[in-house]
Structures are given as structure tokens and as C-alpha cells.
Amino acid sequence: MMKREEEALSRLVICDHPLIQHKLTYIRNKETNTKDFRELVDEVATLMAYEITRDIPLDTITVQTPVAETRAKIVSGRMLGLVPILRAGLGMVDGILKLIPSAKVGHIGLARDHETLQPREYYINLPTDAQSRMLIVIDPMLATGGSANAAISSLKNNGCDQIKLMCLIAAPEGVEAVQAAHPDVDIYIAAMDERLNEKGYIVPGLGDAGDRMFGTN
């Protein structure tokens, strides 16, 4: 289901399952309306959650089935936390919670200045036990990487040390920026696009993720 590109720095995992790629095509389509866009992002987030949790550790316990006692696997290790970057990251939360309902959710609000492309943090609220959790930073778009880097730095400044990044679409520039700043953070994406345009939008991308998710412009 997934293709790994071993980078010198952190791991880049491209989730290339056919269902993810199919749904992503409809997400990209400018004719897709807000309701369908939201539903598709939600579905892709669920499918990607399956991939991002692929290597979480397991313990073996004894369980009594109706037929016999047996040894069977359960998830162990750190509890999970989701950290959507506002606004657009919110659209991926429910899809992941379907698979990991016990995850706690923190929020980081970042707005990218349209001229400088620099992110400005306007909100942060983390679970009280965030430091002991494996955190997944969520944002549909990894463009320059400024927002993802700022979010990851904020988490590290708050004492969090096990962090992954999940995005739908990345530009090569964004992946490079995150790998350079945070080589300990593995990156999971559904597609690596061609480039950024002069306005910092991913080409071909999907446009402005927040606007398409919430019907604003």
C-alpha cells in the first residue's frame, strides 16, 4: 500500500493506495463542492491513519475466546494525540478519530501571511499529557513548510518529543524544509506535487484548502 523513499533525513512515506489516489483526484477537482470535498478529505484521512499507525508497537496478552485460551496482540506504547493546524487541518480530525477514537486532540492556529508566506501563531491548546503521547500534526497542505515547521517547533517547545506529520499534498520545497528543520519527524503524504507557484500555492495542488473545506474565499 505504501511506497517509502529513504531520505538522508526523516522518512517520507507516500500513501499511494489506489483508493487514496482516486479520492484525491476528486478532492483536487475544482468542480467538487464543499460538502463532497469535506467528505472526501475525511475518508482519505481515515485511510492515511491506517498507514501512519502501521509501525506502532504491540503487546501480547492472553485472551479467552469462546473456544480456547490464546495469546493475541494489543496496541501498546504511547497513546496518540492529534494536532490539526487551523483551519484546514480540522477537516482531517474526524476521519482519523474513526480509527483511533481514544486519541486526544490539541489545536494550533497558524495563518500564513499572503505576502511574506510566513506563518503567525494565533492559538495553541494542547492536551495536558501531550508530552507523553505520540503526536500527529495534521494539515492538508505542505507548501513552503513554514506552517508545519512552526507547529512542530511549538510542540517541541512544549516538551513533546515524538511527532509525525500527515498531509494530503506536499511540494518538494515543503518536504525539504521540514526534513531540514526536524529530521526526527517522519512525513506521511498522499501525493508529492510539482512545485510552488509565485504565490506559494502548490501546483497543481487543490487550491486553498481552508477555503475549499469551509466554503470561504
Name the closest residue to ligand PRP (Cβ).
Answer: 210
Q: Interface with ligand PRP includes 111 (CB under 6 A)? A: yes
Q: Interface with ligand PRP includes 174 (CB under 6 A)? A: yes
Please, are residues 107 and 81 in contact by the beta-carbon 8 Å criterion?
no
Please, are residues 193 and 173 in contact by the beta-carbon 8 Å criterion?
no
- Of the candidate spans 15-23, 95-103, 135-143, 154-162, the one that interacts with ligand PRP by CB under 6 A turns out to be 135-143
- Of the candidate spans 42-50, 66-74, 82-90, 155-163, the one that interacts with ligand PRP by CB under 6 A turns out to be 82-90
Residue 202's binding partner out of ligand PRP, ligand URA, none, with CB under 5 to 8 Å set by partner kind: ligand URA
Reply yes or no on whether 208 is catalytic.
yes
Residue 84's binding partner out of ligand PRP, ligand URA, none, with CB under 5 to 8 Å set by partner kind: none
Listed residue (147, 18, 53, 43) closest to 98, CA to CA: 43
* H/E stretch holding 195: strand 195-196
- DSSP secondary structure letters along 24-59: HHHHH-TT--HHHHHHHHHHHHHHHHHHHTTT--EE
Please, are residues 108 and 154 in contact by the beta-carbon 8 Å criterion?
yes
Q: Interface with ligand PRP includes 193 (CB under 6 A)? A: no
Of positions 12, 92, 96, 143, contacts ligand PRP by CB under 6 A: 143
Reply yes or no on whether 211 is catalytic.
yes
Question: Which 8-state DSSP code applies to residue 102?
Answer: T
Reply yes or no on whether 113 is catalytic.
no
Residue 17's contacts (CB-CB under 8 Å, 6 or more residues apart) are 1, 2, 47, 51
- Residues contributing to the site for ligand URA (CB under 6 A): 141, 143, 200-202, 205, 208-210
Q: Based on CB atoms, which residue is closest to ligand PRP, 81 or 210?
A: 210
Please, are residues 187 and 50 in contact by the beta-carbon 8 Å criterion?
no
Please identify which of the residues 28, 38, 46, 112 carries the catalytic annotation: 112
> Catalytic positions, please?
112, 116, 208, 211
